[in-house]
Structure 1
Amino acid sequence: MKHSQVLGIVLCYVLGVVNVLSAAESKAAGGKVYATAWFGGEVGVVDLNTGKTIRTVKVGVHDHNVFLSPDQKTAWVTNNNDGTVSIIDTATDQVSRTFRVGNGPRHTFISSDGKEAYVTTEFDDAVAVIDPGTYAPLATIKVGRMPHFALIAGDRVFVSNFGSGDVSVIDRTNRNVMGTIPVGLGPLGAGFAKDTQRVYIACHAANHVAVIDGNSLQVITRIPTDAGPVQVTVTPDQKHAYVANDGAGTVQKIDLANNAIVKTVAIAPNAGTHGIGFAADGKLLLLTNTGNNTISVIDATKDRIIKTIKVGTAPEGIAFKRP
């Protein structure tokens, strides 16, 4: 056999392996993305592989956020102006139920065992506790002013109160507020690092992320960010966090070992970067941009934008369903 023929066979084999790897990577990055539309009253369902909207689901007025149940069978959509939550069946991508929850619902957070859902109702200064199986109300817990985000961390719930600049800590067992932590002006989204028991709070009007020690319930540091941090989330490997900044149109990467910004990815000055989530086991970072009606897909291994997807008007919340 000639040298050129051998080289050709080897080249074909290598290309074949590359194609297989590409297909595997593509499959790993598959699944559906759910994005709210604040001015659209709808949730767009996007095929992550193609970037195409495969369905538009009508929900309530001013749908702010979407949260998937632990089994990923339902998507909970908070309709701020309606005071309702719409439940989307993720198998059919249709609304299976809508129920009233209180005045001004913002975010839902469901416990990993699927037994409790916490919904912040900003105009009631309260958190509604819902049974995810029956959708029956279990309790109403008064917190600070204009609660925005509820985060379950072990046997506690951390609630960011936008209007009072603090975080209410709820004991899940007795559903009482066990403490209030001042964090800075305009706290919104939150993230939790299980390894260190630290809670990260994006303080929108203070331009920092407050870091709370989950054991002492004290702020241990504040990490300066770009203008208008909105949501923050911890990577699956617990080494980093990302914070979306709507005032700057950026997302910033935080090294959790030293609580410092190590990377800034610019989306666009007018992007209004807002919601944040992960896909493909944390390899992809998903961001909603309320200012230009897009989703940015970022390769989290290289911190660069690899895809921009057009969606509905003023997307804020985002959630990813595995394939």
Structure 2
Amino acid sequence: MKFTTLNAIAGLAATLPTSDEASVAAARARQNSLTKPPGALGRLETLAEFMAGWRKTICPEIKRAQALVFAGNHGVCAQGVNPYPQEVTAQMVLNFESGGAAINQLCRVNGAALRVIPLELDRPTQDFTQGPAMSEAETLAAMQAGADAVDTLADVLILGEMGIGNSTVAAAMAAALFGGEVSVWVGAGTGSDSAGIARKIGAIDAGLALHSARSGMAVLASLGGREQAAICGAVLAARAAGIVVILDGFICTAAAAALYTTDQRLLDHCLVGHQSSEPGHRKLLAEIDKTAILELDMRLGEGSGATLALGILRSALACHNGMATFGEARVSEA
């Protein structure tokens, strides 16, 4: 998948694969024939049906799961919106690469191949209180980096991020895309105190006043970051390959919301792994009509909640594919 202009993104939904309704129906019929009351496994059943539709088979499997963590730095940090210096982004990338972060442990336990992709960490985006965070060319380049990183042989793609200041970026994007008081979108992020939260709100207010565009791709360029753009590119590349995506928390979801407001169908193949404890995430999920798989009061990022949700998805398919039907088990049906 190649990206040439931001305006072209709006037309992609009509050209990309869709869920196969025949496979969904067949998977639902199988669920209703398994040795349990219909619906007794709750969302595990609908997750199996979701996978069946996108993988176009009655009994889908996760043979290959990929986790991508994109890392970027942000010019808005000049406004004092984060308690940590931007050097921490590169330091955490090294920690990922050496296997010392939470995401490394979660990928190992849940069976995902992790790849970490730093995006020009020595060149932060522009401060969005002073001008657009990225040019169109910069936005497209980051989207392309995200798309090119996708393993097209994967059955599931987990998306995560790392970037000092990116909770401010996520709140700014959410406020621009969906409106409302800025304060409802802003949380502590990596540990901001009340003064730090006030600086975040002030920076976002300034950015919204400066940038009038509210369309998805325009918001991504004017207020977003390279990791947010890469997430969008990866979401689209996964869709082209029929791969189910598990989005992580608030920051990852806010990035993908730029696609949702461009065309709601662009997130049809996406699940949300967990509901973050960041206060804006619940509101954001309602706006994009998604329900998170887990809610564990997490706010780490890195793809951590999405990787935990991979274990739930694997469990859903294990039940779907491995349970006996009433006929196979010679159990009488009602």
TM norm. shorter chain > 0.5:
no
Structure that is richer in helix per residue: 2
**Greater RCO between the two (CA within 8 Å, min separation 6)?**
2
Structure that is richer in strand per residue: 1
The TM tier, using the shorter chain, reads: under 0.3
TM-score by length of 1: 0.27
